Amino acid sequence: MSQLFSPYQLGSLTLANRIVIAPMCQYSAQDGCASDWHTIHLGHLALSGAGLLIIEATAVEPDGRISPFDLGLWSDETEAALGKALDSARRWSDMPIAIQLAHAGRKASLAQPWKGGGQLGLDQGGWTVEAPSEIGFETYPRPPRALTSDDIGRLIEAFADSARRAVRLGFAAIELHGAHGYLMHQFLSPFSNKREDEYGGSLENRTRFPLAVLDAVRAVVPAGYPVGFRVSGTDWVEGGWDIEQSIAFAQAAKARGADFIDMSGGGLSATQKVPLGPNYQVPLARAVKEATGIATMAVGLITEAEQAEAIIGTGEADFVALARGILYNPRWPWHAAAQLGATVKAPNQYLRSQPRQYSKLFA
């Protein structure tokens, strides 16, 4: 039996297989509200046969958006718009859908990637960004404002409020974005966090804000509801955030009720040196899983069915998370199931597409 297509119990959530669709920003919202694009985007991914779909980084306040076109969940209007897109997807698919809650910190106020992705000026629709310290991302000209203790309290409550809205919308799980150089990662890394209060300095202090967010979110979701973190296992820069600190953070998060860690890497420094190649970030997931026992998701140039099967079968991770690869091939789980002799769920309208040589592909 294929291990990739075996079920998994994550808290109170039962997943049909170990394939996760990772969060991927679409930069297509209007004032934080999901648009028709999200209806199309989520709809076709929900027909892919994956075990779980995690929607894109969703800002907990307007200033936390990466771009003015990011998705948000901070108001009744943003909640209603996202609910409309979810209703369309759920009408035709029972795939569990999770949400990634996020704040971009010093990497906010950017243009859409296809328009260059640079920091927007205040006269171009940009805004003053916030961060743990007054240290800007290396390639952006405008430095951030350092968060005060009151600001940090406000942001913790903003994450909790968005979590309440996520539960109301019926999301199956919540992933907190602590990776890719965004706000929680900025607190974790000694490169971006130079604070001299209880939120800076020691590892215990640098993890204080993300763990406080976890506590606040856990307090407003039902018992058994899965909550986890996406973490950059390393800054890919010597002297920065690294796998040893990631393991310590994962241990602390697990002790406070985190159900999973989605292990990625980088994004904090423009000087990062990333050793790109197949499975290049899988060792980060394996290290966290071996040290802590928490459920882990592996990412990083996982493109082939046999490759994903080996990751799960050898216990390197509990899930594989696909991003750009599943945009390129939205039926990747179908093709993987065919190669591995497994079955996958498909919509009734597509059952006739099953090739003769895979007559038992669709469950």
* 2-11 per-position pLDDT tens digit: 999 999 999 9
CA distances from 129 to 58, 122, 151, 194, 338 (A): 17, 11, 12, 17, 47
Q: Per-residue pLDDT averaged across 256-282, rounded?
A: 95
This prediction's pTM:
0.97
Q: In the CATH scheme, what is the code of domain 8-358?
A: 3.20.20.70
Chain centre to alpha carbon of residue 83: 19
Are the C-beta atoms of 212 and 184 separated by less than 8 Å? no
Q: What is the reported pLDDT for 363?
A: 84
Chain centre to alpha carbon of residue 163: 14
Average pLDDT, the chain: 97
Indicate if the pLDDT at residue 89 is higher than 90.
yes
Tokens 């973190």 belong to which residue?
Answer: 229
Which three-class secondary structure state does DSSP give residue 262?
A: strand
Q: What is the reported pLDDT for 84?
A: 98
Tens digit of each residue's pLDDT (9 = 90 or more) over 318-358: 999 999 999 999 999 999 999 999 999 999 999 999 999 99
The catalytic residues are: 182
**Domain coordinates in residue numbering, the chain:** 8-358
Burial 278-312 (b: 16+ CB within 10 A, else e): ebebbbbbbbbbeebebbbbbbbebeebebbbbbb
Q: What is the reported pLDDT for 295?
A: 98
Backbone angles phi, psi at 362, to 5 degrees: -90, 125
Strand partners, 362: 344
- Alpha-carbon distance of 70 to 83, in angstroms, equals 16
Q: What is the reported pLDDT for 222?
A: 97
Tens digit of each residue's pLDDT (9 = 90 or more) over 37-62: 999 999 999 999 999 999 999 999 99
Q: Beta-carbon neighbour count of residue 38 at 10 Å?
A: 23
Tens digit of each residue's pLDDT (9 = 90 or more) over 235-248: 999 999 999 999 99
Tens digit of each residue's pLDDT (9 = 90 or more) over 113-151: 999 999 999 999 999 999 999 999 988 999 999 999 999
Tens digit of each residue's pLDDT (9 = 90 or more) over 193-243: 999 999 999 999 999 999 999 999 999 999 999 999 999 999 999 999 999
Burial of 323 (0-12, 13-18, 19+ CB in 10 A): middle
